Structures are given as C-alpha cells and as structure tokens.
Amino acid sequence: MNYPRVRARLLASEPVPGVTEAFGNLDGLLLREGTHWVVTRNDGAITIGRVDSDPSGVITDRATWTDPAPHTPGTYCSPLPGGAMAISGRETVTVYEADGTLRWEHRHRDWQHSPEASGACTADPSGRVLLATMAGPLGTDGLSGGDVCRALDLATGDVLGEHVLPSRAAAYEFQAFPDARPEVLLTASMGQDGTLCLLITSTAAGIDVRATGTVTEACVGVGPEGALVVQDIGGGYLTRTQDGTDDVLLEAGRVLPEDWVFVGYTPGFLDDKRIMVVAAEEQWAEEGTHLLLDGRTLGPLAEIDYPQAPGVAAVPLGDGTWLTHDGETVQRWTTA
C-alpha cells in the first residue's frame, strides 16, 4: 500500500491475564460513562478494569468477583456506578455490589433451543436504570414474539418498563457513546439473519427503541455525535453512518491490495477526526496492517509503522491512543 507511514510510539504495556480471550468476547471491551473498560475471565474470577485516563498507563481500578458460572458460555458483564457489576446469563440478570455481595437477581425465560443467543446489560446514562435484553415470553402458539429489553431499577431490580425487540434469539451487545447522549447502542446479531443496530433510551414512560442508519453488521465502533463506523463481517467494506447525514461506504478493493480485506472486528474512532481499522490478506490472518482513515470521508490517511509486526486487534480509545495485545500483555500506543 502506497500510503504515508506514521510511526507508532509505545506509551505503556502491562500484563492482563485473560485478555486474549476478552478481545474476542462481546463484553471484553466496553464503553461506559465515557470510559473504556476491559472485562477478563481467568481462574474462576471475573475482573473488570478501567482503561487509565492517563495515557502513560494501561489498566487501573481493577475489581474482581467470583465467576458465578465459570463454565457457562454467553454470560455478559458490565461495570456499574459505584463499583458494582451486572451479569446477564441465560436465565437471570444479577447485580453484585463492589464487595461481591448480591444486590438483587431478576429471573427470566431461558432461550430454549437457541444456544447461540445471549443477553446483555448496561446502566443507562442516568445511572438509575439497568437495561437488559432477554428472551421474551412465548405466545399461545408456543413461539416467541421477539426478545425483550427490560428497564430494571438499578437499586431494587423492579421492572420499570419493557419493549419487545424486532429480533429473536440474538447475541446482544450494549455500547455507550463517548459524549453525553441519552441513548445507548444495542447490536443484535442473529447469525444468517443479519444484525440490527438499535438506539435504546429509558424514559419515564418506559423504553424507546429505534433503528439507526442502515447498519446490518455486528462490528461497530461508536464515535462522537452518534456516529458509527461499521465493518462488514466478511471484511469487504466499511460504512460510516450517522443520523442526519448520508452513509459513507468504503469498499476494501478500492483502498487495499487485491484480495485483502478488513479484519480484527474492532473498527473505531481514534479521535474526532480519525478512524482506525486493520487489514490483512485473509480474514483469519494473525498479523495485520493498521490504517488511519478520515473520520468523515473514510479516505485513507496513513499506515501505522510498528517496531514489530502487529496482530489484528487494535482498539482505538477516542483520545488519540489505542490498545493492542501481544499474548497476555496489553500495549498502549499513540502516533509519533
């Protein structure tokens, strides 16, 4: 690729046990309360750490809980205000205090015969409500009318509202936006049936749900002013979408060598003006080329030059820095 090269400068590195698996989980990298969090599972424990606001650090304010279901796939964790944690499982949503004691548990119907389905949860921007997705009730015909999103009182677990989603037996993920917005982004991945991206808002009347843009893929990075950058599952294209503006589509064949694709599944905004993505010769490559794109036009700006060949995971943090990992060591970078 004949793009300008900019040197990556290492700011910090730190061992984080379990990070290799975390970077592939729906809850491994979360944006909450304007802060990025890393969720790892290791030796029967769940650890949630905040990405340091100081660029010279990596992870800070770690908190660890005993994993209540260490051998159960599809659980989803989320940090909560005050150092608490919520876990969404196949039949329950549970909130634990910072000291590990149980605050409350909310039971719901299991996704019967849907092993790929999994719920998600997050505190809403007000910090008073827990939004959680779960299997909806069955109709008289024995079929589900759709999964549901419930608003649960964060203090008591009481149900404050419910909305039937246009998705069934999906794998869900919540992400907040980096700026102060009343809604959160919910992605619902339904395998061969595609992915829905929904904006969820908790209101006094219940829950408001609306689709955003033309997003149909699960690999989504959130940016300022409600902007999203979306990576095709197969790596063939990127899309920038935002309410009130025309979508911008970038095909891999226009900017990458022949037969190369976008990889890594972690596209995102490096800052307000730049997007970071990873490209490689094939979808399952272990090494990739990290690119910077214009945050609005998706035009290529530069290729990142590392001291050694990087992997395919690059997690932009919105402040001009990004994370990679080498085995179980997380590295934080900026441009020189």
- The structure tokens 């005993």 sit at 66
pLDDT of residue 87 exceeding 80, the answer is yes
Amino acid code (one letter) for 302: A
pLDDT tens digits for range 72-84: 888 999 999 999 9
Query: pLDDT, tens digit, for every residue of 273-312?
Result: 999 999 999 988 899 999 999 999 999 999 999 998 889 9
Query: Which two structure tokens, joined as six digits, stand for 38?
Result: 């890393």
Predicted structure pTM score: 0.94
Cβ proximity of 60 and 79 under 8 Å: no
| pLDDT one-digit tens code per residue, 217-270 | 667 899 999 999 999 888 999 999 998 889 999 999 999 999 999 998 889 999
- CA-nearest of 152, 168, 164 to 105 is 152
Q: Cα–Cα distances in Å, from 31 out to 1, 138, 178, 200, 285? A: 32, 33, 7, 15, 27
DSSP state of 191: G
Is the predicted pLDDT of residue 138 greater than 90, yes or no? no
- Residue 214 pLDDT greater than 60, yes or no: no
Contact between residue 48 and residue 22 where contact means Cβ atoms under 8 Å apart: no
What is the per-residue pLDDT across 26-71, written as a single tens digit (0 to 9) for each?
A: 999 999 988 999 999 999 999 999 999 999 999 999 999 999 988 8
Residue 132 has pLDDT above 60, yes or no: yes
- Distance, CA of 231 to CA of 218 (rounded, Å): 8
- Please check the confidence at residue 215 and state whether its pLDDT lies above 60: no
The pLDDT value given to residue 180: 82
Q: How high is the mean pLDDT of the chain?
A: 92
Tell me how far apart the alpha carbons of residues 166 and 175 are, in angstroms, rounded to a whole number: 19
Using one digit for the tens of pLDDT, what is the confidence trace for 156-211?
999 999 999 999 899 999 999 998 889 999 999 988 778 888 999 999 888 999 98
Taking residues 114-137, report their average pLDDT: 94
pLDDT surpassing 70 at residue 216: no
Residue 331 in contact with residue 323, Cβ under 8 Å? yes
